[in-house]
Amino acid sequence: MLQILQTGGTLGILVDLNTLDREGIFVDFFGLPASTTFMVAKLALRTGAQVLPVFAPWDKTQKKFLLKIGPALSFEATGEEQEDVRRLTQAFTNVVEDYVRRYPDQWLWIHRRWKTRPAGEPEIY
pLDDT, residue 73, reads 94
pLDDT for residue 109 is more than 80: no
Q: Domains in the chain: how many in total?
A: 1
In a domain, 116, yes or no: no
In a domain, 120, yes or no: no
| Contact residues for 44 (Cβ-Cβ < 8 A; gap 6+) | 50, 51, 75, 88
In a domain, 83, yes or no: yes
In a domain, 24, yes or no: yes
Question: What is the tens place of the pLDDT at every residue in 48-102?
Answer: 999 999 999 999 999 999 999 999 998 889 999 999 999 999 999 999 999 999 9
- What pTM value is reported for the model? 0.90
Q: What are phi and psi of 47, to 5 degrees?
A: -115, -15
- Supply the range of the domain harboring residue 30: 2-106
Cα angle at 107 between 101 and 113, to 5 degrees?
95
Q: What are phi and psi of 104, to 5 degrees?
A: -60, -30
In a domain, 121, yes or no: no
In a domain, 122, yes or no: no
